[in-house]
Amino acid sequence: MNETEDTLTEDSPVTRDNPVTQNTAQRILPVADGRQVKAYVREVLVTDRRELAIVVGLYAAATSAGLVAPRMLGDIVTGVQHHGTTAGSIEVLAAIIALSLVAASILTRYGALAGARFGESLLARLREDFVDRVLRLPLSVVERAGSGDLLSRSSRDVAALSQSARYALPATLTAALSVALTLGAVALDSPLLLVPCLIVVPPVWLASRWYLRRATAGYLRENAAWAEITESLAETTEGARTVEALRLGPARRRRADADLAGSYAAERYTLRLRSVFLPAAEASYVLPLAGTLAFGGYACLRGWCTVGQVTAGALYAAALVRPMDELIQWLNQLQTGNAALARLLGIGQVAADREPGGDRPRDEQLLADQVRHSYRPGRDVLRSVSLRVRPGERIAIVGPSGAGKSTLGRLLAGITAPAGGRVTVGGVELTRLPLEDLRGRIALVSQEHHIFRGTLRENLTLAALDAGDAEVLAALTAVEASGWAQALPGGLDCIVGSGGVALSSAQAQQVALARLILADPHTLILDEATSLLDPRSARRLERSLAAVLDGRTVVSIAHRLHVGHDADRVIVLEDGEIRESGPHRELVRAGGAYAALWESWHGAADAVSRH
């Protein structure tokens, strides 16, 4: 069991039935453990060891130069005590002190510069690494994890890590170096005076140990609680219309209150840790100075050391306060950074759902072979579905809601890997194809699509970067959208998406289809891709789309059965299984499930058109 888990149960204000712990337990995205974080930090520091050595070298030189002055002052005191000091010798010592201080300032400046450069490059690498990890996340995991956790990891955790990499790490290193070198200087001055300096070690060690055993878990909980707030806020904003329509306002507010209470409890816990640890640590700083003066005085009287040595020792003890204070403060920041890094590294631990191999599909034949899928253990949504889609064939998948049609569509598009069986194109499993290659072959348009903030042209050429205006306009014409698109202010240059011209859901669906035409894959999976248009426009769009897509393989999932009428083959899916399969006419003639569906749909459609 690692330290994080260990401390969760011990001395924790957050109980098992508190929302914070519960939500943490539900997290889809993992969090790295202490050992993994350490290994990663070590690896990163080793990679940057040259820069690190320069920072350490400069600070060591700066600190050493700063340590000359107390020693010289001690020598002056000794000289005065023994009446062996002349004005000339004091001037020489004063000049050495002045020079050492100037050297210390210059070296500190360059040390700080090198430290900042080191921190920035470290941060840049951590960020790039994080982006790589996020981009490798399987889509299904992103969907399950929800946006809040990922958003808070990529905003708050990255910010906390920035603080640590930019400031805390270089500052901690230099403060630790200062403490070590100052103690070294005390040892050179008088080894005996190390004793009062070292009495600070046990209390600081105990306080730090107490704190560190609890801090990472505390900060992890704090960040998880923050993710919860982000998640619920994002959900409320995205679903604002539903919230308003169903008068969910008070319920959402209660949820926000509960999230805030969870966050408050988590923040209070770390605040309590800090409020015990920091004063305890700070109180210990004065111990070396007080100890050196008291013990040094006694040692002087006993003739164990000179007044000059005690003077230098006391100055060194006083000089320990600042780096020790910094060390403690940054240690706290490092803990926050540590928790953030654990969450960011956790993203990389999600198992990839794709493993690109070197095999090339021999043709464009899409095949689902005894495919099984479930979202929850023991509840199969698809059961042994086998489907061979001939290149150029137009297939309609119909069936009642919840039958598993969308799931099959996602498996056929390679978005989700099946839990059992295989989905192949040209003999190669979809999950073994590099994503770029797969998307060039098979693409899916579902009801959910996104208009990115940018020009309409940019939104369309996402899928085909080098498409010219003529191609873009042709694609818009094919989806019956050229009329409204050209009427937009600025036409293709019109800024759409959040903050720009708001497109209606139907228009957004047309944009998604036009993107698909530009991407030009050989197989298209259309999952209710025209459902947001009114029936008449949808029918028109489907006809013009069919003309453009002639020769392409099209799998349409639809509840409007005219899609089945227009297709080469209809697949009826019920309860996760293929019940019927064949051309529209044959199935209607057979008088089975499809015939019944067609009868009721046709009757209803006729009734609608009569009114």
CB of 381 to ligand ADP, least distance (A): 4
Q: Which is nearer to ligand ADP, 401 or 498 (CB)?
A: 401
CB of 142 to ligand ADP, least distance (A): 12
CB of 107 to ligand ADP, least distance (A): 59
**Of 218, 404, 418, 521, the one binding ligand ADP by CB under 6 A:** 404
Distance of CA 48 to the CA centre of its chain: 23
Distance CA 180, CA 188 (A): 12
Distance CA 427, CA 430 (A): 9
Distance CA 265, CA 70 (A): 47
Q: Are the C-beta atoms of 482 and 511 separated by less than 8 Å?
A: no
Distance CA 605, CA 400 (A): 17
Q: Are the C-beta atoms of 1 and 211 separated by less than 8 Å?
A: no
Binding flag, residue 375, ligand ADP (CB under 6 A): yes
CB of 147 to ligand ADP, least distance (A): 15
Phi then psi for 396, rounded to 5 degrees?
-115, 130
Q: Which is nearer to ligand ADP, 239 or 491 (CB)?
A: 239
Q: How many residues bind ligand ADP (CB under 6 A)?
A: 10
Q: Which is nearer to ligand ADP, 338 or 509 (CB)?
A: 509
Interface region with ligand ADP, contact rule CB under 6 A, candidates 25-33, 311-319, 325-333, 405-413: 405-413
Interface region with ligand ADP, contact rule CB under 6 A, candidates 193-201, 306-314, 402-410, 448-456: 402-410
Binding flag, residue 401, ligand ADP (CB under 6 A): yes
Q: Which is nearer to ligand ADP, 93 or 442 (CB)?
A: 442
CB of 383 to ligand ADP, least distance (A): 12
CB atoms within 10 A of CB 527: 23
Interface region with ligand ADP, contact rule CB under 6 A, candidates 102-110, 278-286, 299-307, 396-404: 396-404
| C-alpha distances out from residue 525 to 144, 433, 476, 549, 567, Å | 22, 18, 19, 12, 13
Q: Are the C-beta atoms of 516 and 443 separated by less than 8 Å?
A: yes
**For the stretch 66-88, what's the b/e string if a residue is b when 16 or more beta carbons lie within 10 angstroms of its beta carbon?**
bbbbbbbbbbbbbbeeeeebeee
Residues 6+ apart with CB under 8 A from 535: 560, 605, 608
Q: Which is nearer to ligand ADP, 338 or 406 (CB)?
A: 406
CB of 474 to ligand ADP, least distance (A): 31
**Of 202, 279, 297, 402, the one binding ligand ADP by CB under 6 A:** 402
Q: Which is nearer to ligand ADP, 296 or 404 (CB)?
A: 404
Binding flag, residue 406, ligand ADP (CB under 6 A): yes
Binding flag, residue 405, ligand ADP (CB under 6 A): yes
395 burial via Cβ count (<10 Å: 0-12, 13-18, 19+): buried
Q: Which is nearer to ligand ADP, 415 or 425 (CB)?
A: 415
CB of 447 to ligand ADP, least distance (A): 10
Q: Which is nearer to ligand ADP, 400 or 454 (CB)?
A: 400
Residue 554 β-bridge partners: 394, 524
CB of 589 to ligand ADP, least distance (A): 25
Q: Which is nearer to ligand ADP, 406 or 510 (CB)?
A: 406
Q: Which is nearer to ligand ADP, 196 or 399 (CB)?
A: 399
The H-assigned helical ranges of 348-383 are none
Pick from 165, 167, 220: nearest CA to 346: 220
Interface region with ligand ADP, contact rule CB under 6 A, candidates 101-109, 282-290, 333-341, 394-402: 394-402
Q: Are the C-beta atoms of 443 and 425 separated by less than 8 Å?
A: no
3-state secondary structure of 183: helix
Roughly how many angstroms between the first and final C-alpha of the chain, as a whole number?
69
Q: 230 is written with which tokens?
A: 């982000």
Q: Which is nearer to ligand ADP, 107 or 385 (CB)?
A: 385
Interface region with ligand ADP, contact rule CB under 6 A, candidates 360-368, 395-403, 478-486, 492-500: 395-403
The H-assigned helical ranges of 239-306 are 240-245, 249-301
**Of 23, 407, 461, 531, the one binding ligand ADP by CB under 6 A:** 407
Distance CA 9, CA 23 (A): 16
Binding flag, residue 56, ligand ADP (CB under 6 A): no
**Of 72, 114, 381, 538, the one binding ligand ADP by CB under 6 A:** 381
Element (H, E) at 352: none
Query: Residue 480: left if φ>0, alpha if ψ -120 to 50, beta else—which one?
Result: left
Residue 423 β-bridge partners: 368
CB of 26 to ligand ADP, least distance (A): 14
Interface region with ligand ADP, contact rule CB under 6 A, candidates 155-163, 303-311, 400-408, 464-472: 400-408
Interface region with ligand ADP, contact rule CB under 6 A, candidates 99-107, 317-325, 399-407, 500-508: 399-407
Q: Which is nearer to ligand ADP, 146 or 404 (CB)?
A: 404
CB of 563 to ligand ADP, least distance (A): 14
Residues 6+ apart with CB under 8 A from 482: 473, 476
Interface region with ligand ADP, contact rule CB under 6 A, candidates 398-406, 450-458, 496-504, 579-587: 398-406
The H-assigned helical ranges of 137-200 are 139-145, 147-152, 158-163, 169-189, 194-198
| C-alpha distances out from residue 199 to 71, 193, 315, 419, 426, Å | 22, 11, 17, 62, 74
Q: Which is nearer to ligand ADP, 84 or 377 (CB)?
A: 377
DSSP class of residue 463 equals: S
Interface region with ligand ADP, contact rule CB under 6 A, candidates 80-88, 260-268, 397-405, 454-462: 397-405
**Of 403, 423, 508, 570, the one binding ligand ADP by CB under 6 A:** 403
Binding flag, residue 126, ligand ADP (CB under 6 A): no
SS3 content of the chain, % helix, strand, coil (to 5): 65, 10, 20
Q: Are the C-beta atoms of 208 and 281 separated by less than 8 Å?
A: yes
Q: Which is nearer to ligand ADP, 381 or 563 (CB)?
A: 381
Q: Which is nearer to ligand ADP, 412 or 463 (CB)?
A: 412
CB of 561 to ligand ADP, least distance (A): 14
CB atoms within 10 A of CB 152: 22
CB of 559 to ligand ADP, least distance (A): 9
Chain residues binding ligand ADP by CB under 6 A are 375, 381, 399, 401-407
